[in-house]
C-alpha cells in the first residue's frame, strides 16, 4: 500500500496545486515512484502546473469504466518517477460524484503500486473533499498567513475532525444513544464536542478507544506564501493551539516563502523547483518534502 | 467546540512550572494571552466569542491566583488536599519536565502585544501624554509608565539586556552612575521601544533633564 498524502486547505488560491506538484517532483527525484492525483474535481488544472497539455486519459475513464485499473490512467510527467492522474477531461458534472464512485476510487488509490500518492484536493469542505482527505492516516493543510486563509483552514480542520468522529462512531460499536446522533435520519447537527460528550455520557468506557482513534489521524500544517512582515512563528502557534484543543496530533512542517517567480514558472508551464532550484522557496519545499516522508532534507536532484 | 481548559490546573493553563517566579509567570501570561486574544491570527475564527471569553476568563483567573502569594499558597494547598497533585509536584527535583515545556512564542512578541493593549488604558495614556507634552523626561516618569504597564525590571533585562542596576540608575536619575552617553542613548532607546513611546523624545528629553539637573 502506498503512503498517501492528501493536500487540502479550505481556501482557494493558497497554492495547493503548486505545493502538490512541487512536493511530488521533489519526492520523485529521490527515486520514489509518485502518483499525483488531481481531485480538485470540476476545477482541475494540475496538468498545467506540471507543464502538460490536458491529458487524453484520466479519472473520468476510470469512473465511466473505460479502463479497469486506476493505474491505466496515469500519464508520465517531465519528472521521472512522477505520474499524473488528471481529472480535467471529466464531465462537467464530475464535482458531484456518487458515493459508490468515491468508495471505489478510494479503494483503488489504496491499492496503487506506487511509493507515494499525493492527492490535490479542491477548496471548500464538501463531503467528497473531506472523505478524500481522510483516505490516509495523515493529511496536509495548506494555509497562508492571512485571516481569510487561517479562518478557512480552521473551518476545514474542524470539518475533517467532525467527519472523522462521525466515521468512527458509524464504523464501530457504540450504544444506540450515540449511534442515533450520527444516523442519517437524525435532524440535529451535532458538533464534535457534543458527540464526544454524548459518548462520555452514554458509553463512557468507549472514551479511551474513541480518543485513540481520533488521534490516529494527524494534521500537518504548511504555511505557504509567507512574506517578510508575516509572523514567522504563526505556524508554531497554530500547532500549539490545535494540539491543545483537538484530540488529534498536529505538526507544523514549515514556512514556504512567497516568490514572484512562481508566477513566471507557471506562465512558462514549467515547475518552479525545476526552473529555480536555488531559490529560497525551493529549499523550503525540499525541507518540507523531507519532513513529510520522514527523513533528512532532500538534496538537489538531477 | 473542542477541548477546553476543563480539568487543567492553573499551571497547566499557563504552561509554567509550580516554581515559576513572577517574571516567568508574567511572560507565560502574556504569551498565552497573545495566542487567545481576539486579534491573534493564530486563533482567528477558531473559537466562537463565547468560547474565547471562557478561555480568556480561565487564563485570567489562573494568572490572578498565581500572582498573589497568599492565593497561590492556598491554591497549591488545595491541589494537594484534593489529591490533584502529589507533594513532589512542588519539589524542585521533579520540576525539570515541567520547566522544559517549550515556549511557543517569542517573549518580545507577546510583550509587544501586551503593551499595545495596555496603552489604551486611561492611567497609561495620561502618563504617556504628560511625558510627551514636556521637553524634559525624568527617570521617575519612565518608571511610572513601566509600572502602570505591569512590566518587571527582569523582563526588560531579558529583552533589551538592560541590567536591573542600570535600569534603577536610569529610573532614579542617578546620573553619576550612568554609562557613557552613546550607551545611555542605546539603553534609553531600547527601553522606550519596549514601552512603545517615541525613542527620540525619550532620549532627547532625558539628556535635557540630565543637563539641567546636575
Tell me, yes or no, whether B76 lies in a domain: yes
The answer to whether the pTM exceeds 0.90 is: no
Q: CB of B1 within 8 A of CB of B51?
A: yes
Cell digits of residue A114: 506506487
Q: Do B41 and A234 touch (CB under 8 A)?
A: yes
Q: Do B43 and A241 touch (CB under 8 A)?
A: yes
> Is the domain of B148 the same as that of B60?
no
Q: Can you spell out the DSSP letters for chain B?
A: ----STT--HHHHHT--TT--HHHHHHHHHHHHHHHSTT-GGGTTTS-HHHHHHHHHHHHHHHHHHHSHHHHHHHHHHHHHTTSS-GGGGSGGGGHHHHTPPP-S-HHHHHHHHHHHHTTSHHHHHHHHHHHHSS---HHHHHHHHHHHT--HHHHHHHH---HHHHHHHHTT-GGG---HHHHHHHHHHHHHHHTS-HHHHHHHHHHHHHHH-
Distances B91 to A190, B94, B149 between C-alpha atoms, Å = 44, 6, 32
The verdict on B41 touching A (C-beta cutoff 8 Å) is yes
Give per-residue burial for A81-100: e unless 16+ CB within 10 Å, then b.
bbbbbbbbbbeeebbebeee
More confident residue, B170 or A91: B170
CATH code for the domain of B37: 1.10.287
Average pLDDT over residues A45-54: 87
Minimal C-alpha gap between A278 and chain B (Å): 30
Examine the fold and report which residue of B70, B96, B113 is the final residue of a domain before the chain moves on: B113
pLDDT at A301 over 50: no
Tell me, yes or no, whether B124 lies in a domain: yes
> Is the domain of B105 the same as that of B134?
no
Which residues on B lie below 8 Å from A125 (Cβ)? Answer: none
Nearest-CA residue of chain B relative to A143?
B42
pLDDT at A230 over 60: yes
Nearest-CA residue of chain A relative to B102?
A240
Q: How many CB pairs under 8 A join A and B?
A: 55
Chain A interface residues (partner B, CB cutoff 8 A) = 145, 147, 150-151, 154-155, 158, 161, 191-193, 231, 233-234, 236-238, 240-241, 244-247
Q: CB of A31 within 8 A of CB of A81?
A: yes
Nearest-CA residue of chain A relative to B6?
A245
Q: Do B46 and A192 touch (CB under 8 A)?
A: no
> Is the domain of B208 the same as that of B132?
yes
Q: CB of B75 within 8 A of CB of B65?
A: yes
User: Helix or strand or coil: residue A247?
Assistant: coil
Nearest-CA residue of chain B relative to A156?
B46
> Is the domain of B150 the same as that of B97?
no
Kind and range of the H or E run holding A29: none
Query: Which of A158, A191, A234 is opposite residue B42, by nearest beta carbon?
Result: A234
Examine the fold and report which residue of B113, B142, B163 is the final residue of a domain before the chain moves on: B113
Q: Could you list the pLDDT tens digit for every one of the 214 residues in chain B?
A: 578 888 889 999 999 988 888 888 998 999 899 889 888 898 988 998 899 999 999 999 999 999 999 999 999 999 888 888 877 777 654 454 444 444 445 666 788 888 988 888 999 999 999 999 999 999 999 999 999 999 989 888 888 888 889 999 999 999 999 999 999 999 999 999 999 999 999 999 999 999 985 4
> Is the domain of B152 the same as that of B81?
no
Tell me, yes or no, whether B38 lies in a domain: yes
Q: Do B3 and A247 touch (CB under 8 A)?
A: yes
Distance CA B116, CA A65 (A): 62
Examine the fold and report which residue of B113, B132, B164 is the final residue of a domain before the chain moves on: B113
Which residues on B lie below 8 Å from A233 (Cβ)? Answer: 104-106, 109
Which residues on B lie below 8 Å from A161 (Cβ)? Answer: 2
Contacts of A70 (CB under 8 A, 6+ apart): A62, A85, A105, A108, A109, A111, A112
Query: Which of A151, A237, A246 is opposite residue B35, by nearest beta carbon?
Result: A237
Minimal C-alpha gap between B106 and chain A (Å): 8
The verdict on B48 touching A (C-beta cutoff 8 Å) is no
> Is the domain of B19 the same as that of B63?
yes
pLDDT confidence tier of residue A302, bands split at 50, 70 and 90: very low
Nearest to A115 by CA among A274, A282, A294: A294
ipTM comes to 0.81
Q: Do A147 and B45 touch (CB under 8 A)?
A: yes
Q: Do B105 and A234 touch (CB under 8 A)?
A: no
Name the residue with cell 509608565. B145
Name the residue with cell 478561555. B55
Could you report the per-residue pLDDT of A114-151, keeping only the tens digit for each? Answer: 999 999 998 888 888 999 999 999 999 999 999 999 99
Range of the domain at B128: 119-213
Provide the β-strand partners of residue A117.
Answer: A4, A35
Nearest-CA residue of chain A relative to B51?
A245
Q: What is residue A94's predicted lDDT score, i.e. its pLDDT? A: 66
More confident residue, A271 or B213: A271
Nearest-CA residue of chain B relative to A191?
B1
Tell me, yes or no, whether B3 lies in a domain: no
Those of residues 18-37 in B touching chain A at CB distance below 8 A are 35
Tell me, yes or no, whether B47 lies in a domain: yes
Average pLDDT over residues A186-207: 91
Average pLDDT over residues A177-190: 86
> Is the domain of B108 the same as that of B143?
no
Average pLDDT over residues A152-157: 95
Q: Where are the domains of chain A?
A: 3-148+218-292
Q: What is residue A295's predicted lDDT score, i.e. its pLDDT? A: 55
Q: How many domains does chain B have?
A: 2
pLDDT confidence tier of residue A84, bands split at 50, 70 and 90: very high
Tell me, yes or no, whether B129 lies in a domain: yes
pLDDT at A299 over 60: no
Give per-residue burial for A55-67: e unless 16+ CB within 10 Å, then b.
bebbbbbbbeeeb
User: Helix or strand or coil: residue A258?
Assistant: coil
> Is the domain of B14 the same as that of B107?
yes
Which residues on A lie below 8 Å from B104 (Cβ)? Answer: 233, 236-237, 240
> Is the domain of B84 the same as that of B145?
no
CATH superfamily of A3-148+218-292: P-loop containing nucleotide triphosphate hydrolases (3.40.50.300)
Amino acid at each position: 500500500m502506498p503512503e498517501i498524502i492528501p493536500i487540502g486547505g479550505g481556501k482557494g488560491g493558497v497554492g495547493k496545486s503548486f505545493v502538490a506538484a512541487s512536493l511530488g517532483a521533489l519526492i520523485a527525484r529521490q527515486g520514489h515512484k509518485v502518483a499525483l492525483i488531481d481531485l480538485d474535481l470540476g476545477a482541475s488544472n494540475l496538468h498545467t502546473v506540471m507543464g502538460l497539455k490536458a491529458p487524453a486519459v484520466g479519472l473520468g475513464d476510470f469512473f465511466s469504466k473505460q479502463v479497469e485499473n486506476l493505474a491505466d490512467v496515469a500519464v508520465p510527467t517531465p519528472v521521472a518517477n512522477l505520474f499524473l492522474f488528471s481529472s480535467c477531461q471529466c464531465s462537467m458534472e464530475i464535482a458531484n460524484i456518487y458515493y459508490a464512485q468515491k468508495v471505489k476510487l478510494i479503494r483503488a488509490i489504496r491499492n496503487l503500486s506506487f511509493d507515494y500518492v499525493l492527492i490535490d484536493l479542491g477548496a471548500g469542505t464538501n463531503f467528497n473533499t473531506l472523505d478524500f482527505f481522510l483516505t490516509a492516516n495523515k493529511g496536509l493543510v495548506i494555509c497562508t498567513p492571512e485571516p481569510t486563509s487561517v479562518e478557512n483552514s480552521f473551518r476545514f480542520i474542524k470539518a475533517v475532525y467532525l467527519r472523522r468522529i462521525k466515521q468512527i462512531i458509524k464504523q464501530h460499536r457504540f450504544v444506540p444513544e450515540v449511534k442515533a446522533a450520527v444516523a442519517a435520519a437524525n435532524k440535529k447537527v451535532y458538533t464534535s464536542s457534543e458527540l464526544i460528550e454524548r459518548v462520555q455520557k452514554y458509553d463512557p468506557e468507549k472514551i479511551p478507544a474513541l480518543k485513540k482513534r481520533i488521534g490516529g489521524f494527524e494534521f500537518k500544517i504548511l504555511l505557504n506564501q509567507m512574506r517578510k512582515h508575516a509572523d514567522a512563528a504563526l505556524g508554531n502557534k497554530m500547532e500549539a493551539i490545535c494540539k491543545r484543543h483537538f484530540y488529534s496530533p498536529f505538526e507544523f512542517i514549515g514556512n514556504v516563502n512567497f516568490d514572484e517567480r512562481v508566477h513566471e514558472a507557471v506562465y512558462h508551464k514549467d515547475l518552479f523547483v525545476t526552473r529555480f532550484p536555488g531559490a529560497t522557496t525551493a529549499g523550503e519545499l525540499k525541507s518540507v518534502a523531507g519532513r513529510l516522508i520522514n527523513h533528512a532534507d532532500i538534496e538537489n536532484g538531477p | 467546540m473542542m477541548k477546553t481548559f476543563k480539568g487543567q490546573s492553573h499551571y497547566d493553563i499557563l504552561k509554567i512550572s509550580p516554581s515559576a517566579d513572577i517574571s516567568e509567570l508574567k511572560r507565560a501570561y502574556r504569551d498565552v494571552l497573545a495566542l487567545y486574544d481576539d486579534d491573534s491570527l493564530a486563533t482567528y475564527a477558531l473559537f466562537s466569542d463565547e468560547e474565547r471569553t471562557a478561555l480568556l476568563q480561565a487564563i485570567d483567573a489562573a494568572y490572578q491566583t498565581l500572582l498573589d502569594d497568599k492565593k497561590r499558597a492556598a491554591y497549591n494547598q488545595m491541589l494537594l488536599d484534593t489529591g490533584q497533585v502529589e507533594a513532589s509536584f512542588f519539589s524542585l527535583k521533579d520540576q525539570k519536565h515541567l520547566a522544559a515545556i517549550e515556549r511557543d512564542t517569542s517573549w518580545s512578541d507577546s510583550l509587544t502585544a501586551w503593551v499595545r493593549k495596555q496603552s489604551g488604558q486611561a492611567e497609561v495614556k495620561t502618563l504617556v501624554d504628560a511625558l510627551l507634552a514636556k521637553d524634559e523626561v525624568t527617570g521617575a516618569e519612565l518608571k511610572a509608565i513601566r509600572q502602570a504597564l505591569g512590566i518587571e525590571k527582569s523582563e526588560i533585562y531579558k529583552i533589551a539586556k538592560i541590567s536591573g542596576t542600570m535600569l534603577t540608575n536610569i529610573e532614579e536619575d542617578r546620573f553619576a552612575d550612568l554609562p557613557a552617553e552613546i550607551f545611555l542613548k542605546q539603553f534609553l532607546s531600547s527601553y522606550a521601544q519596549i514601552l512603545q513611546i517615541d525613542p527620540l523624545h525619550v532620549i532627547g528629553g532625558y539628556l535635557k533633564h540630565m543637563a539641567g539637573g546636575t
